[in-house]
Structures are given as structure tokens and as C-alpha cells.
Chain A
Amino acid sequence: DADVTQTPRNRITKTGKRIMLECSQTKGHDRMYWYRQDPGLGLRLIYYSFDVKDINKGEISDGYSVSRQAQAKFSLSLESAIPNQTALYFCATSDLSREQYFGPGTRLTVL
């Protein structure tokens, strides 16, 4: 089984809808991250969490919110999706070694 899983893997939605992307990990890591990737670009950080009581904004947090339900679960919400949020979304985890491990990604399309 994969160490970092994301659901759904693909999602098509309409402008204005609320969307939640979920991430689960079995690596036992305290640190979790959400990134987005736009075509032809590298990943950019949306939010990160160092433990269940710690949530921090990343480079591009506007229009997004997160919830750290447990050490193993970190979800990303789009309260009112807009077309320029169409992207590939990645969850990642790390421990104190700082090396990050990525999930398989969620491809989100907002029409």
C-alpha cells in the first residue's frame, strides 16, 4: 500500500462549488503539506502543518483552507472553486529529517 494517499484522484466541478481534497499517510510523520502544480511549472506551497495543532499558510493560501484532523490526515478545501484553481494538487509528508514524500496527486478541473 502507498504511504501517502490522496482522494479523489480526479475531480471535475463547477465554479462556486465547495470541494475537499483528502490526504492520508501511514509513514508516521508529523509534518504534512499541500502543494499545487500548474502546467509547465514546479510545485508551490499552499499550506503546511507541523502537528495537529499547528497550521501555517504557504506561498499561495488565498482561496484555500485546511484541516488537520489527526496526525495521519490533512485535508484541503476550496470554499468556492474558481477556474484558475484548476491544477494538480499534491500532498506531502516529512519527519525531522526534512525529506518530503509526495502522494500521487489529485487532478482538479473547475469549469
Chain B
Amino acid sequence: GIQVEQSPPDLILQEGANSTLRCNFSDSVNNLQWFHQNPWGQLINLFYIPSGTKQNGRLSATTVATERYSLLYISSSQTTDSGVYFCAVERSSGANNLFFGTGTRLTVIP
């Protein structure tokens, strides 16, 4: 398979702070997605971003496919941002399935 490494594994923020989450992957990809898993276990699509930069409100993401990494930026964090953030990739040369990293657990404290 493909190796997907996320950092940091855990992050605690004061409400209002900004953060950057990183995802490194070991092979060429044609799909990269960021998800937020909320405390109830639901997976929420944040970005589909195999390359380039996208923004959605306080969140933005950048993928540099040639250097095999992606970054998720969270600005002005809120307590509702707490949960686990997963990066998942689909290898260019493989079947259409996602390989997940082990996630970054974010806790935003008031």
C-alpha cells in the first residue's frame, strides 16, 4: 500500500488560535481528501484536493503533489472544531480506494 503520515498526532489549542496540520504520503496520488471525524464518529468531508489550494470559510488546504504532502489550515479555531482530522489518499497506480492516515486529534479549549 501507500504510507500516510499525519502530524502532529495530538494538538491542543486555545479558542481563536490558528493551526496547521500536515499529511505526508509515500507515493504518487490522484486523490487526496481531508475529513473531520466529530465526537459522534461521523466523517465529514472537508476537502477533495489532489493538488492546489482550496478554501472554505476558516479552513483551507494545500496539496503539493510533486513533494508528496498536504497541509490543512484552521484559522480562528472554535470548540466545534474539536475531533480527529484524517488525511486519505488514493494511489495513482492502484485501485480506487483510500488509504487513511492515523489522524490528528484536535482539542480546542474555551
Contacts and interface: CB of A to CB of B under 8 A. Distances in A.
Main secondary structure of the interface of A (DSSP, over half): strand
B30 A42 contact: no
Contact of A101 (B45, B86, B95): B45
A41 B100 CA distance: 9
Contacts of B48: 97-99
Nearest to A42: B100
Please classify the interface of chain B as helix (H, G, I), strand (E, B), loop, or mixed, using the class held by over half of its residues.
Answer: strand
Interface residues on B, range: 20 to 34
A105 B97 contact: no
B33 A100 contact: yes
Contacts of B57: none
A88 B31 contact: no
B42 A41 contact: no
Interface string B1-34: 1001000000000000000000000000011010
A100 B98 contact: yes
A56 interface: yes
Contacts of A99: 31, 33, 45, 48
A107 interface: yes
Most chain B Cβ neighbours within 10 Å, of A42, A48, A102:
A42
Contacts of B1: 59
